[in-house]
């Protein structure tokens, strides 16, 4: 499993995460899950995905949408992973829930804001000790990314 950790300096977590979600959509056949820690957070992100830009939106569904919408969505916003392992290659962990690395996704993405850098370091130490994980770390500064 590939795990990418993004450490933000100036970008907001919402903007940076949504840009990465857009990149997933560009790949056509890849499906992704955006994992939230609560229903309220899921609904908030659901609204933000529909309105995050004045000229575009990110098509998606959430777990409360009808199954036909979920079946045709490349992005699912959820607060549970039950039923969302098969057929989804990428997992975006909104609140950096470490337990998700035991799931069957090809790629898991964690993102930390500037105020969470100490927590990010602890998370990176934990992830780097797992032999089944290929860890990639990126640092954002002034809108530009560098790999650490």
SS3 letters across 57-107? CCCCEECCCCHHHHHHCCEEEECCCCCCCCCCCEEEECCCCHHHHHCCCCE
What is the C-alpha separation between 21 and 49, in angstroms, rounded? 10
pLDDT of residue 68: 66
pLDDT of residue 39: 95
What is the C-alpha separation between 107 and 39, in angstroms, rounded? 24
pLDDT of residue 34: 95
Domain that holds residue 56: 2-147
pLDDT of residue 47: 93
Mean pLDDT, 10 residues at a time, the chain of 148 residues: 94 93 88 94 94 82 81 90 83 85 85 93 91 94 92
* Residue 24, token pair as written in the block: 């997933």
pLDDT of residue 139: 96
The CATH number of residue 136's host domain is: 3.40.50.10110
The total domain count for the chain is: 1
pLDDT of residue 76: 93
Tell me the pTM: 0.90
C-alpha dihedral over 112, 113, 117, 122, to 10 degrees?
A: -20
What is the C-alpha separation between 119 and 107, in angstroms, rounded? 21
SS3 category, 3: strand
């Amino acid at each position: 499993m590939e795990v990418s950790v993004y450490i933000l300096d100036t970008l907001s977590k919402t903007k940076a995460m949504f840009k990465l979600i857009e990149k997933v959509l560009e790949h056509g056949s890849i499906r992704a899950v955006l994992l939230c820690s609560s229903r309220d957070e899921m609904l908030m992100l659901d609204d933000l995905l529909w309105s995050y830009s004045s000229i575009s939106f990110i098509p998606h569904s959430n777990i409360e949408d009808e199954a036909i919408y979920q079946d045709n969505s490349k992005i699912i916003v959820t607060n549970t992973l039950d039923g969302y392992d098969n057929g989804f290659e990428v997992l975006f962990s909104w609140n950096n829930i470490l337990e998700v690395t035991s799931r069957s996704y090809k790629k898991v993405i964690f993102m930390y804001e500037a105020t969470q850098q100490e927590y990010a370091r602890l998370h990176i130490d934990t992830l780097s000790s797992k032999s089944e994980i290929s860890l990639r770390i990126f640092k954002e500064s002034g809108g530009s990314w560098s790999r650490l």
